[in-house]
Amino acid sequence: MDFRFSEDEGKFRQELGEFLDKELTEEICRQNWEDKGLGCEGRTFARKLGAKGWLAASWPKEYGGEGKPHTYEYILVTELARRGAHIPTDIGRLMIGPTIMRRGSEELKQEFLPRIARGEIEFCLGYTEPEAGSDLASMEMRAVEDGADYIINGQKIFNTECHYSEYHWLAARTDPDAPKHRGISLFIVDMTSPGITVAPMWTMSGERTNSVYYDNVRVPKRLLVGEKNRGFYHMMEAINFERLSVYPIELVHRFLDGAIQYAKETQYKGKPLSKDPLIRDKLAQMAIELEVGSVIEAQASWMISQGTAPAIESAICKIFATEMQQRLLNIVMQVLGPYGQLQEGSKWAPLKGTIERNYKAAVLGTIGGGSSEILRNTIATLGLGLPVQQTTQSP
């Protein structure tokens, strides 16, 4: 493996960095699914990225891309993360687009991929149900054929972007008599369709997610993604892209940088916190873990650039990044002491209160996109060849 950037990739990274330093504001950084949600500033910024050809640089030109190596996508994600930002339309770009590319009909590719590449539309995920959390194969939402349409009824929960996205990436059961994993299909649903109701759910970190209700919602058959009753497997492909791209290591680095700066500037009993051996030890340990995570992430990205689907590696990346984020934020809270519990808006809150908010939000990382427990079972079974546990659902 060679992780070095080519000359052209290095030039792209420099040009992108200069653009981000000029265009990226704090408000845009916060307009993402785990914070404020996507607003007009984030949408405008996404369209600027799209206009430069950067959102889909690695996609084929016929679908709005530039036909460049996957490395360009990796550079875009990491350079944004280094500045505390996501791709504003990251669900559509990083999860849905690649899955449509692999499994969608030519009609769906032509209809959706260029608009994703231009930063014009965003998607929300419709997987989890009240009685089917991490066991997605147990979902019960029904999609019944009726002429040229499917009629869909049921409920989804924890669908975070549904109050501002244009489309719902929806999984529903199309064959109730088939084995659980083999009776699910994937659909693209226009969120303005009659019969859809979105109700807010608020998390402990202040993030809005949603319950979504379908009451006889008609969806044209042409919006079926991939094969009927193969949706569970297509959904797993999309989730693998999510695990690799939505939790970049660089997004966590800013917390360590903030803690280091705080330790240098803050006095306790007449000495800087940075001279406390316990604090130095903990921060150094997290620096090591961040470096390890960066290498794991780079390896998975390199595998994609070589045409390999890093299913196990994406699970490893997701576990490591999200659990390490929780450990790091816990340590930063210790460094900040009682002041770390102050929320943004308080004049006494260190680092503008970002640590308190992200400390609470970090709980989601080890649950959404596949819990750490399920991913460890996946790694054990598919990566290490260990037997499947009887209580574990396997594809």
pLDDT, residue 392, reads: 45
pLDDT, residue 103, reads: 94
What residues form DSSP beta bridges with 188?
169
Contact yes or no for 15/52 (Cβ under 8 A):
no
Residue that has been written with the tokens 């390999």 in this structure: 308
Q: CA angle at residue 127 from 122 to 128, to 5 degrees?
A: 125
pLDDT, residue 190, reads: 98
Amino acid letter, residue 140: E
Q: Which of 207, 242, 313, 356 is catalytic?
A: 242
At the top level of CATH, which class does the domain 247-383 belong to? mainly alpha
Known active-site residue 242:
yes
Contact yes or no for 229/194 (Cβ under 8 A):
no
**Which residues, other chains included, contact 77 with Cβ-Cβ below 8 Å and sequence gap of 6+?**
87, 94, 245, 248
Which residue blocks in the chain are alpha helix, DSSP H? 7-23, 26-30, 40-51, 71-82, 90, 97-103, 106-117, 231-245, 250-265, 277-305, 311-336, 354-361, 372-378
Give the Cα separation of 175 and 182 in Å (integer). Answer: 8
CATH domain 7-88 topology: Butyryl-Coa Dehydrogenase, subunit A; domain 1 (1.10.540)
Give the Cα separation of 249 and 316 in Å (integer). Answer: 12
Q: Are strands 142-146 and 123-126 parallel, antiparallel or unpaired?
A: unpaired
Contact yes or no for 190/124 (Cβ under 8 A):
no
Give the Cα separation of 117 and 123 in Å (integer). Answer: 13
pLDDT, residue 51, reads: 97
pLDDT, residue 181, reads: 86
Give the Cα separation of 194 and 277 in Å (integer). Answer: 61
- Paired tokens of 308: 């390999």
pLDDT, residue 393, reads: 45
Give the Cα separation of 383 and 217 in Å (integer). Answer: 40
Cα distance from N-terminal residue to C-terminal residue, the chain: 31
Give the Cα separation of 260 and 238 in Å (integer). Answer: 36
What backbone torsions phi and psi does residue 306 show, to the nearest 5 degrees? Answer: -95, 5
Q: Which CATH superfamily is domain 125-229 in?
A: Butyryl-CoA Dehydrogenase, subunit A, domain 2 (2.40.110.10)
Q: CA angle at residue 364 from 233 to 210, to 5 degrees?
A: 75
Which among 251, 250, 278 is positioned nearest to 263, based on CA atoms? 278
Task: Walk along the chain (395 residues) and give the pLDDT tens digit of each residue.
Answer: 566 788 999 999 999 999 999 999 999 999 998 889 999 999 999 999 999 999 999 999 999 999 998 889 999 999 999 999 999 999 999 899 999 999 999 999 999 999 999 999 999 999 999 988 778 888 999 999 999 999 999 999 999 999 999 999 999 999 999 988 899 999 999 999 999 999 999 988 888 999 999 999 999 999 999 999 999 988 888 887 777 777 888 888 989 999 999 999 999 889 999 999 999 999 999 999 999 999 888 888 888 777 777 778 888 989 999 999 999 999 999 999 999 999 988 999 999 889 999 999 898 888 887 889 988 998 998 889 998 765 444 44
What residues form DSSP beta bridges with 202?
208
pLDDT, residue 146, reads: 97
pLDDT, residue 226, reads: 95
**In a 10 Å sphere around its CB, with 0-12 CB exposed, 13-18 middle and 19+ buried, how is residue 7 labelled?**
exposed
pLDDT, residue 121, reads: 97
Domain coordinates of the chain in residue numbers? 7-88, 125-229, 247-383
Contact yes or no for 183/175 (Cβ under 8 A):
yes
